[in-house]
Structure 1
Amino acid sequence: MSKIGLYFGTFNPIHVGHLIIANHMVENSDLDEIWMVVTPHNPFKKKSSLLENNHRFELVYRATENYEKIKPSDIEFKLPQPNYTVFTLAHISDLYPGKEFCLIMGEDNLKSLHKWKNYETILEHHHIYVYPRIAEGSVDHQFKSHSKIHVVNAPIVQISSTMIRNGIKDKKNIKPLLSKEVWEYIDEMNFYKK
């Protein structure tokens, strides 16, 4: 049974930091593939700043085209809004019964896991792979030594999609922070310039 890591994000836009983390996770753990799940609407984020779903998926598709073990996924586009991870995991597990799905998240998300809808159900049925992030606060004691939570010693990447959007708006050169294919699509479509 292949083991798939689900890396959720709005990817607004996807940048080299996302790719560094995804590639590191798939190459340095027992995961066989990473699926970059483009989230149509995160319950904790405002929707107004998001590019349309199809454009963000296209950016992820272009960014991952040359990575054999990293795939784009629009699975959440077909689910009711707002999306909750617990429902997506149940849906994707039903769709692909021959695969084991795991969550990939930053340490900052692990710190707020106890606030997630039905987080106990997620932990009961799925493993979680955590990459380090510089964040305030500490991880809840119930998650520190949980048998289904695995911390992967990945590089700390301090690049954010907000930084990129602001850089484009301010006419800064942010090309090194994006794959060539992603930059070309953003530039061609005049995204984030206003």
Structure 2
Amino acid sequence: MQRSTGLFFGSFNPVHVGHMIIANYMATQTALDEVWMVVSPQNPFKKRQSLARDHDRLHLVRLAIGDTPNLRASAVEFDLPKPSYTIDTLAVLREQFPERTFSLIMGGDNLPTLPKWKNSDILLRDFDIHVYNRPGYELGELQDHPRVFVHDAPLMHLSATYIRQCLREGHSVRYLVPEAVAKELAVSGLYR
């Protein structure tokens, strides 16, 4: 039987409890068997200086996941051409893991922009898309698509930008990031 794997893409700069709540919700309260948190390499539209090195962010995601059995960190995009497109990443994963079916996980703010993505017609034809509602965002006409599943996952008003600001200003990020991540940030000095 094929395992149903949800792909939760993000820069996770750094990973925080809001990310982990969504990942855990999708892995335990939907039809998905597991969730892979795919750490995205440098996005050409984001400022480089605000982004920690790829492997540092991956390390923090691994620490956040710990021994949670149905969550996994993935660096699949690190070796792909930049910028990496979701459809290309999915093609690589399907080839590497033919025993799995892959789905996308995205926020409701991204769903209306999906038609602008590379090969969005193939994405919608071949992959389920699990959407977590985000307050203040209309889902648009794709919310009724047969491959789109909308979930009311618990959300936090928390951003990685805010956490980086706290770290720069020497404020505590306890309870904002998983405990293992907080310890690593304190020791490493990342984002200071």
Q: Which bin holds the TM-score, normalised by the shorter protein?
A: over 0.9
The Cα shift of 1:91 comes to 0.8
What does residue 130 of structure 1 align with?
Answer: 131
TM-score, reference length from structure 2: 0.95
The Cα shift of 1:185 comes to 1.1
**CA–CA separation in structure 2 for the residues paired with 1:2 and 1:125:** 16
**CA–CA separation in structure 1 for the residues paired with 2:11 and 2:143:** 27
Amino acid at match of 1:110: L
What does residue 170 of structure 1 align with?
Answer: 169
SS in 1 for 2:49: coil
Amino acid at match of 2:126: H
What does residue 16 of structure 2 align with?
Answer: 15
Report if aligned partners of 2:131, 2:150 keep a CA contact under 8 Å in 1: yes
149 and 44 in structure 1: CA distance in 2 versus 1, 3 angstrom threshold: farther
**CA–CA separation in structure 2 for the residues paired with 1:102 and 1:189:** 34
SS in 2 for 1:108: coil
What does residue 106 of structure 1 align with?
Answer: 107
SS in 2 for 1:48: helix
The Cα shift of 1:44 comes to 3.8
Deviations 1:69-91 (A, max 9, x none): 00000011111111111110111
**CA–CA separation in structure 2 for the residues paired with 1:140 and 1:154:** 18
User: Identical aligned pairs, as a percentage?
Assistant: 40
The Cα shift of 1:167 comes to 1.0
TM-score, reference length from structure 1: 0.94
SS in 2 for 1:92: helix
What does residue 75 of structure 2 align with?
Answer: 74
1:85 aligns with 2:115: no
SS in 1 for 2:162: helix
Alignment of 1:16-95 (within 5 A): 16-95=17-96
Bigger drift between 55-64 and 152-161 goes to: 152-161
Bigger drift between 43-52 and 97-106 goes to: 43-52
Report if aligned partners of 1:32, 1:69 keep a CA contact under 8 Å in 2: yes
Report if aligned partners of 2:143, 2:150 keep a CA contact under 8 Å in 1: no
1:157 aligns with 2:156: yes
Amino acid at match of 1:63: A
**CA–CA separation in structure 1 for the residues paired with 2:45 and 2:105:** 18
Deviations 1:3-29 (A, max 9, x none): 000000000000011111111111111
Amino acid at match of 2:96: L
- Structure 1 residue runs of 5 or longer lacking an equivalent are none
Deviations 1:89-148 (A, max 9, x none): 111011111100000000011122122121111111100000111244x2331x021000
The Cα shift of 1:43 comes to 4.1
**CA–CA separation in structure 1 for the residues paired with 2:136 and 2:164:** 22
**CA–CA separation in structure 1 for the residues paired with 2:130 and 2:97:** 20
What does residue 140 of structure 1 align with?
Answer: 140
Report if aligned partners of 1:41, 1:83 keep a CA contact under 8 Å in 2: no
Q: Runs (4+) of structure 1 moved beyond 2 Å? A: 41-48
